[in-house]
Structures are given as structure tokens and as C-alpha cells.
Amino acid sequence: MSEPPPRPAAGPATPLPSKPRPITWRLANVVDIIPETPRVRTLVLDVSDWPGHRAGQHVDVRLTAEDGYQAQRSYSIASPPEDRHLALTIERLDDGEVSPYLTGELRAGDQLELRGPIGGYFAWSVALGGPLLLVAGGSGIVPLMAMLRHRAAALQNAEPEVRHRVPARVLYSSRRWDEVIYRDELARLADDDPALQVTHTLTRQPPKGWTGFRRRIDRMMLAEVAWPPAERPQVFVCGPTPLVESVAAALVELGHDPARVKTERFGPTGGAT
């Protein structure tokens, strides 16, 4: 997050809350660490008295060195609100200060400080309905995966008609096939659910026999994969800044209402070091 979005002009009429509840630092126990790709790990955390979250929100993580030095970073929540544990999926940035520690040094049994959930805009729940269009680049899939997991959990026992009221399409750009985060789970979710369509594009070295897209997401690809604007999808786009800039611009050119296109961007050091 940080700045300009879409919304009817003029400030919301909600009055200032007189005494907002602080978002306090909590201690999280690392229950498990799951390798996702060569550079990506999921931290499974047990957070005492976690207040709950919505899919798409994030947390702030704080590390403390022995001399008292502290570093904070924001990470998207990967787990749906329905899960008992909180999951953060983190990509190691080689020049990062925090992500190499979280993906390399941290072990099950260690503790972390975090606070959240944070961010009320880039968030979705089944109650908001669909269709849903999720566009991701690289680790930008993380908050969108929380939405897909939430959708699957909420619709698990739903009748097919109900499921078809919240159809979802995912367009996910990765560099290489072995860098696709949640690859098997995405395939499984799509196999189990005719109302979910997952499309991959690989921008470098597609595997032998690859018949899918092999370029950066562009307007033509979006026109082919995305819901037509007339379906009025709710759109969430998350990834590196150049991808988000070009995808959001292309969606607006295709006729999607800018107010329905919600974005989250991370630059080289934008939000995920």
C-alpha cells in the first residue's frame, strides 16, 4: 500500500473513531518451515490470541539482534482466515536484510514478533462475491493464494450453483516452472473446481513441451484470459511494480472500471526485503 487508489472522490463520511484499538506486537512460534521453491519458504506460525484476518491482508514482522538493533518488514499472509495457523510465504532477496534470515536461518521452534492484520483495501472474502480475477507476478501470488484458499474453504461444502456464483480466474506470471510458488496446490484446486481456472505464463526457459504462454502478461493475454469487463469482475493485481503498472493500465484500456482494480506493488525494496 501507500498511496493513491480508486474510490469516489470526497472523503468517506465515517467519523474518526474516538479510540481505535492498537495493533499490538505478538509473539509467534514457528511451527514449521515449508520449502516452496529454491528461493521461497513458507513460515507456519502459531500466534497466541491472533485476532483473525481477511484474505489479502499482511503483517509486520520485527527482528531483534543481540545488541537491540531491530528491523521490521511487511509480509503478506498466505493462509486463509479459516486456518488454525498463520502462514507467511517469503522470497529470499539476496541483498535483503530480513528475508535471508527468515528463509535461511529461522527454524521450527524459534519465535518471531509480528503485528497485524494490516491493510483493509487489498482484501477479499466470499461475501463480496465474484467473479474474481487474480493476476500475479512472482511472489505476488501470496496474498492472492490466501483469497483462493479462503474461497475453497468457504465453498467446500457449497452446492455447485453457489460455487458458480463466485467463479475465479488466475493469471500467474513466473520466470521458470520451478519458480512457480504453490504450483501443485494451484493445480489441485483447479482440478477440484470447474469454477476455478488457473493460467500460467513463463517468461524464461519454459520446460520442454510447454504449450502455455511464454511471455510477460500483456493486453492480448488479459483479453484472452480475463473476464470481460461486462462481467464486472473484482480484480486484484500483485507483483513487481512494472508488472502491476502494465497489467493495471491494460485492464483499464480493456474497459475495466479502475475502481474495481486493486493493486499491491513491490519494488526492489518496496515491501518485501
Partner 1 sequence: MSPVSRGFRGRSRPTAESGRLPPGQYETRDFPVLSAGPTPRVSPAAWDFTVRGPGTQVARWTWDEFSTLPRETVTRDIHCVTKWSKLGTMWEGVSVDTLLAEAAARGVGAGPFVMALSDGGYTTNLPLADIIGGKAWVALSYNGEPLAAEHGGPARLLVPHLYFWKSAKWVRQLRFMDHDQPGFWESLGYHNYGDPWREQRYSGDE
Taking CB under 8 A as the binding criterion, the range among 2-10, 139-147, 196-204, 220-228 that sits at the site for partner 1 is 2-10
The residues near 237 (Cβ < 8 Å, ≥ 6 apart) are 135, 136, 140, 243, 244, 247, 248, 251, 261, 262, 263, 264
Strand partners, 61: 73, 114
- CB 212, min distance to partner 1, A: 26
In terms of CB distance, is 102 or 154 closer to partner 1?
Answer: 102
The answer to whether 263 and 82 are in contact (CB under 8 A) is no
In terms of CB distance, is 12 or 38 closer to partner 1?
Answer: 12
Q: In the set 35, 212, 255, 268, which binds partner 1 (CB under 8 A)?
A: 268
In terms of CB distance, is 9 or 184 closer to partner 1?
Answer: 9
Please tell me whether residue 12 binds partner 1 under the rule CB under 8 A: yes
Number of residues that bind partner 1 (CB under 8 A): 68
Please tell me whether residue 271 binds partner 1 under the rule CB under 8 A: yes
Helix 141-155 with 183-191: angle, nearest 10 deg: 30
Determine if residue 161 is left, alpha or beta; phi over 0 gives left, psi from -120 to 50 gives alpha, anything else beta.
alpha
In terms of CB distance, is 1 or 190 closer to partner 1?
Answer: 1
Query: Which parts of 188-247 interact with partner 1 (CB under 8 A)?
Result: 241, 245
Mind giving me the DSSP string for 32-93?
A: EEEEEETTEEEEEEEETT-----BT-EEEEEEE-TTS-EEEEEEEB-S-TT-SSEEEEEEPP
Please tell me whether residue 105 binds partner 1 under the rule CB under 8 A: yes
The answer to whether 87 and 79 are in contact (CB under 8 A) is yes
Q: In the set 31, 39, 62, 83, which binds partner 1 (CB under 8 A)?
A: 62
Q: What residue ranges bind partner 1 (CB under 8 A)?
A: 1-17, 20-23, 25, 27, 60, 62-66, 69-74, 97, 101, 105-106, 110-113, 118-122, 241, 245, 248-249, 251-252, 258-259, 261-271, 273
